[in-house]
Chains A and B, each alone.
Chain A
């Protein structure tokens, strides 16, 4: 930083200059932007020399500014690369980061159940849709991180990881005051699938008699775990058990059968 000496001014008060007056520089060169537009004819040689020093100082500041952001971006890229390649370990991070991470986890647990559930559901949903390669075998699962949870003796490190958990299904009925669902879970789609990509065949009545229920759709709802099926039986639909095969878009294997019962 180049230092320049100036005249003593009034103590304590600095008047704010007019908005923008003489302050915004030329975009072609940020450093040159801070140089005075032109020296006035009345300016003394000494003053011009001083101005040149100021410009040098500001040009240096801009260079330092670019160095700082370049270094930050470089560090960010290195960190991103570590994450992407699955090389990241908590113990590789500086001690303060590990402590801070544990504090954050503890803080999350101390907050209300609702907000914590939101966080965990978000992580789950993302995990369901895009599982990062190899990390599951290298990094402890979120819930199992010491010191907040203990690993059961039967869960040795060499044990095969469990298969994908079933996809919970909450069935909601529109326009049918009395109905129940006999399905509470489906097989999880093998490919990343949005809720709108899950479809059900028309729910056919048990025994094959009567009209099927065709209005069935699937949605995500942050307030419940898993996926929500919205079933809208037409008015006057006969009571009884109805079922239909559920598919995920692009997957020929069905996820299961959705079975509901309209009651009297």
Chain B
């Protein structure tokens, strides 16, 4: 089944409508970002850094998920958009830290913040953004009462813990050169590192806000999880393609020895001699990994079906997400926002 056919089955928004909705919700979120990031008198070495990453654009996927869920569950844009701003500020703060941890040089086509200003100032800016995110969150929660606020804090703290665990897994595997990994390990990492912050939490926040605390935030966990895993696999696949995405380096994940589904598969599929060579490659520092060895690894992934396998698993995870969509959102009345959420599944593969 193609993405378009799946969209029909799901009553999902077509790609053009997805783009329009993200643009609309993105604009509304940016107004709030400007308000909250510009609320203080400009502080030297800080506020310019805080405004940098949000000014570079981005798909505004997370804020859009939050707002669409809030509206689908009966909420108002005005309240949801503050929550969306909190998500985006926190996300950008985490990106700053991620770039330092990964030693990344580019973010959205431009030098990373630590490359421009040095790691100490960049870390400080990331810290400030994570705490600045509390302000729009508090403003969004104030009218909702203590019980709902406590529920939001509960799911937010859970997200923070899951995300930190996921990041720790990925960094730990790389830094300790852990090679004996399984598909389950990868799914667990993708759940924690990608899905929780990127899909589950924004959906949960929107659901709680929109329903006034009456809907169960657990109901969207499985949908967000499968959506997030499919998204992560597709992201990893695109990194190996001739068009890895805006501002990204082709095969950059291999230079970083990132533990992707393809890497886990190929290591299990290859011969003993190839595995020894692969492990030696993975044990090198990043700067010592040569382009020739990276090309050898890509060729081996193709030869042993690792890339095809990952592509098929991504499609299957998208199918699981579609299945879980019905369970999470099937009882809601049809609406543009419900169609937008359904449209996220085929959008994973159709996104620019």
Interface residues of A (CB under 8 A from B): 1, 3-17, 19-31, 33-34, 37, 54, 57-62, 64-69, 72-73, 76, 80, 100, 107-108, 111-112, 114-116, 118-119, 122, 125-126, 128-130, 192, 194, 220, 222
Contacts and interface: CB of A to CB of B under 8 A. Distances in A.
Contact of A1 (B10, B183, B346): B183
B145 A68 contact: no
B346 A14 contact: no
Given A22-B2, A31-B316, A126-B146, 6 more contacts: A11-B299, A16-B241, A23-B349, A61-B313, A65-B317, A122-B138
A68 B188 contact: yes
Interface in B180-203: 182-184, 187-188, 191
A20 B309 contact: no
A24 B3 contact: yes
Given A68-B187, A72-B191, A100-B164, A25 B146 contact: no
B243 A30 contact: no
A125 B240 CA distance: 49
Contacts of B187: 64-65, 68
B238 A112 contact: no
A16 B9 CA distance: 25
Nearest to A34: B316
B304 A33 contact: no
A30 B319 contact: yes
| Most chain B CB neighbours (cut-off 10 Å) among A9, A14, A29, A76 | A14
Contact of B6 (A27, A31, A69, A119): A27
Interface in B211-256: 218, 221-222, 225-226, 229, 237-238, 240-243, 251
Contact of B145 (A24, A73, A76, A194): A194
A114 B4 CA distance: 49
Contacts of A23: 2-3, 311, 314-315, 318, 349
Contacts, number: 228
B305 A5 contact: yes
7 contacts: A13-B242, A14-B240, A14-B241, A26-B1, A37-B1, A65-B225, A69-B222
B298 A12 contact: yes
A68 B40 CA distance: 43
Contacts of A24: 1-3, 5-6, 315, 318-319, 322, 345-346, 349
Interface in B304-350: 304-305, 307-309, 311-320, 322-323, 325-326, 345-346, 349-350
Interface residues on B, range: 35 or more
B280 to A, nearest CB: 19
B24 interface: no
B303 A8 contact: yes
Given A27-B10, A27-B323, A61-B183, A9 B312 contact: no
A192 B146 CA distance: 8
Nearest to B310: A61
B290 interface: no
Contacts of A21: 2-3
Nearest to A131: B146
B269 to A, nearest CB: 4
Contacts of A116: 131
Contacts of A30: 226, 316-317, 319-320, 322-323
B305 A6 contact: yes
A4 B319 contact: no
Nearest to B124: A111
